[in-house]
A = this chain, B = another copy of it.
Amino acid sequence: MAESTAPADAVPADANCRAAGEGHHHGYVPEAAAINNRLRRVEGQVRGLQRMVDDEAYCIDIITQISAAKAALDRVATLLLKDHLNHCVADAARSGNTEEMTAKVAEATDAVTRLLKS
Q: Which residues of A come within 8 Å of B, CB atoms?
A: 17-18, 20, 25-29, 32, 35-36, 39-40, 42-43, 46-47, 49-50, 53-54, 56-60, 62-64, 66-71, 73-74, 76-78, 80-86, 88-91, 93-94, 96, 101-102, 105-109, 111-118
CB of A32 within 8 A of CB of B58, answer no
Bound-state Cα–Cα, A24 to B80, Å? 30
Interface of A is mostly: helix
Given the interface pairs A43-B47, A74-B118, A94-B93, the reply to whether A36 lies near B59 with Cβ below 8 Å is: no
Copy tally for this chain in the complex stands at 4
* Candidates B66, B77, B84; contact of A77 at CB < 8 Å: B66
